[in-house]
């Protein structure tokens, strides 16, 4: 039996969790088996940016701003039923949540 592996990722954790729960409830309502949402490791991107602060003497002091972006990921595995996959494709997914569907044996 084939399974569908659904991978979700987003910078916004709340909308990601809400979308994963909506997909899980939809699949359970249709009677297909579902595993997840399984949290995957969060990818953290840190960027230190140096900004120059001028003092009265003309010599600059190095100060750093540190920017950080976190990408949260969730994984769902569903027993493949065509009806469930069609309903998932019709589901309204927020614009800040990315989704990837792969078929697995």
* Domain 3-43+71-104, architecture per CATH: 2-Layer Sandwich (3.30)
- Can you tell me the distance from the alpha carbon of 49 to that of 66, in angstroms, rounded to the nearest whole number? 6
Q: Which residues contact 81 (CB under 8 A, 6 or more apart)?
A: 30, 31, 32
Compute the distance between CA of residue 71 and CA of residue 62 in angstroms, rounded to an integer.
Answer: 29
Q: Identify the pLDDT of residue 74.
A: 94
Report whether 97 contacts 19 (CB < 8 A): yes
Mean pLDDT, residues 12-23 taken together = 91
Contacts of 52 (CB under 8 A, 6+ apart): 60, 61, 62, 63
Is the confidence at residue 56, as pLDDT, over 70?
Answer: no
Ordered by start, the domain boundaries in the chain are 3-43+71-104
* Best CA proximity match to 37, nearest among 22, 21, 26: 21
What pLDDT, on the 0 to 100 scale, is given for residue 76? Answer: 92
């Amino acid at each position: 039996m084939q399974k569908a592996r659904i991978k979700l990722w987003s910078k916004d954790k709340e909308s990601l969790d809400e979308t994963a729960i909506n997909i899980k409830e939809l699949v359970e309502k249709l009677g297909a088996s579902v595993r997840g949402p399984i949290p995957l490791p969060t990818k953290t991107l840190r960027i230190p940016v140096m900004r120059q602060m001028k003092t009265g003497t003309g010599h600059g002091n190095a100060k750093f701003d540190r920017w950080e972006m976190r990408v949260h990921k969730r994984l769902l595995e569903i027993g493949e039923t065509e009806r469930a996959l069609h309903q998932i494709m019709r589901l309204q997914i927020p614009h800040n949540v990315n989704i990837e569907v792969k078929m697995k044996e």
